[in-house]
Structure 1
Amino acid sequence: MSDTADATSVGAVLVPSSSARRARRLLTGYFAGQGVMMATWATRLPAVKETADLTPGRLSFALLAASAGMISMLLVSGRLAERPHGTGLLLVGAALVLGAALVVLGQVRSFIALVVAAAFFGAGQGLLLVPMNAAGVECEARYGRPVMSSLHGAYSIGAVCAAGVATATATVPHGIVLAIVGGTVIVAALLAAPVTVSLAPAQAPTATEDPKVRTTWVVWLLGGMIAGGLIAEGTALDWSAVHVRSLGASATTAAAAYWLYGAGMAAGRLMGDILTSRLGPQTLLRTGAVVAAVGFGVGLAATNTPAATPAALTGWALLGFGLSPIVPLLYSATAGSYGPRAVASVSLIGNVGLLAGPVAVGGIATATSLPLALLVPVALVAALALASGVVTPSR
């Protein structure tokens, strides 16, 4: 079978070319690597804080610098990804920036150094996000069937594995761990560079299309939908353990809330490609949103009952499972119809929601109660079901 063919039909089965399979393996490594890097950084953050002798306020400023670095690079990467070999070059460059930033983060001993290194780490994330998803859609088109959900699932698996390794190596100095992970990322990126640069280019809208299509209401709606999904994800990260703990559960049980959420997310993403093929993207997005909203909503409704804790844990697990296909489907729809610049635009909108959403939930919880504030992600996820008609299959 020729590598120049995207896929070959054998009977009723569409067999992807060897180049398409190679691209999928490469992108799986990039997604998993991103999960490993993010989890490594998150689990070692307390040690970095102690080494640099930071107050919570100064640590928050450093995290804000990372967010600013990411957001500032999103639109840049959207433009670069459309250039010849832009997708592959961005992937390699972003991996090198992230690997180097991790090594430096393990050695910082001052507030200023941490802010600068965190900003570079965030910039690497911004450079990586757009080409990964744009290349994922190109791979999906050449494969002849959905693969985006499994690519995002690789991120979840990488993060879970890295978190487990972090627990097992808790006594190892954080500088050594970050240097090993960062150095491994650099070496892997350089070894894979020839194959990465040869990836099929990310496609912009054709010349016959209106250039303003990237800023139409559809793109803004897709960005708002991604923001809704990421607000729910950020809420799970920041508030799941707090919520279960407020119900009178032990600290160990409370910590299990986010684990259950993450497990539901990973399981759903591993099933997502098959479900997309069988149900179609619109039906799967609508079904996932309903499962997430109803499952989590019922868990909240049981707050003042004897089953409050198990209901809450089940609710967080169903929220993760229902949300699992939503962001991959939305990125696939955006990149497949509007190109890398639109991916950058919706990523910008979505990540602003990811940053602001959990803070808004905290403000509402302060004014009312946490269970009432957690109805915000329930409402946003329910709205995703109503807006699912905007999701169309990628090329």
Structure 2
Amino acid sequence: DEKDRAWRDAGKEDLTPFIKELINNKLSERLKIRTDFYKEKYKHSVFSEIFVTNKYGANIAQTGKTTDYYQADEKWWQMAKEDGLYVEDVEYDESADVYSVALCMRINDKAGNFIGAMKVVLNIQDLIDIIKELEARGAREGRAAVEFKLMTKDGKLIYAAEKYEVLKDLSDEEFFTKITDTERFFTVMEREPGGVEEELFAYALSKGYKDYKGLGWILVVEHETEETFAPIIKLRNILLVISLAVTISAVLIGLFIARSISNPITILKNATVEIGKGELDTKIEVKSKDEIGELAKSFTRMTENLKRTRDELIATKDYTDNIIKSMVDTLIVVDPDGKIRTVNKATSEFLGYTEKELINQPVGTIIAKEEEEEEEEEVPFKGTRLKKLIAEGSIRDYDMTYKTKTGEKIPVSFSGS
């Protein structure tokens, strides 16, 4: 307790001899070599903090001064000891001064006995950069702006395209109240009450991977209704990819790092016992050069996984865009008032109109009237068939007749939803 109080009373830059001894021991130096390597390579702190405790919860190695010396009363330490692996949700890490996700794992000796725990603080900047790259790519290609929001399951904001406050509570926002556990669900809603501009909101929920339940993060994508919404639905895979990358990283770190430091931790444990008996001259000799190589491999594999998943995501999006551009079937989007909102290139060429000539025109401009609808009202496709579509959710293989710009009538088989 006295060491913990003295530790907390010391300022962040005020390193007592005891703190300096921990930060500069051999295991701490090895951990700092790894974190500094990736900081130099990627120009920011990928792993902003790593520290190790003994089985009593006291720090025995660390890359920098932590907020507390004694960790056994912390939830992460208790969960890692009990479950073997625990992933903390995103939060501000006071020790590392970053917003991060913490990977916490139990450390056993060769006999399977608990000898300590390790916490790796993973900076979420790489995850945010993936989303920023998608936004920049869309802007370069001249598409309408796509806005992203990444939130925790409780509605705390992690990232937004516009200016934002990290971990701001959005749970009372109207769009958040419409989010359910159903994937691939989206809804059209007004961006501002009483406004005429509409926004298409699509979202995806993190479901974890195998035994890992995931953090339940929510990715919300806002897109203008004039843009085709098929790519937006595909973008729900972004959060799944992120969740998979975090899971793979946690598993690799648990398997490789815990194995690589088990022997040094045993030596440190024995030395700690001797020091506790008063043998202050006890030397801590850790000579495990090969295990440092294993540690490097695990970090390298994790970063390669992040790059590979980002490249696969970009390739998937390009594939979807090419499908829409090369679509040969006619596509028409109609609002509830029977006005045309969107047509594709195939529709314009088939009927002899330009896209500008059809937008905001009644659908009757291109669909011939039928007797049953003329009896009900003057506007085609605003009677029985629209009621059938609303009631059933979809129509398939419905016989209708197109009317071209020259007045020619062309029978077609129509499907809609």
Same fold (TM over 0.5): no
Q: What TM-score comes out, normalization by structure 2 length? A: 0.28
Q: Per chain length, whose mean CA-contact separation is higher, i.e. which structure has more relative contact order (CA < 8 Å, sep 6+)?
A: 1
Q: What TM-score comes out, normalization by structure 1 length? A: 0.29
Structure with the larger strand share: 2
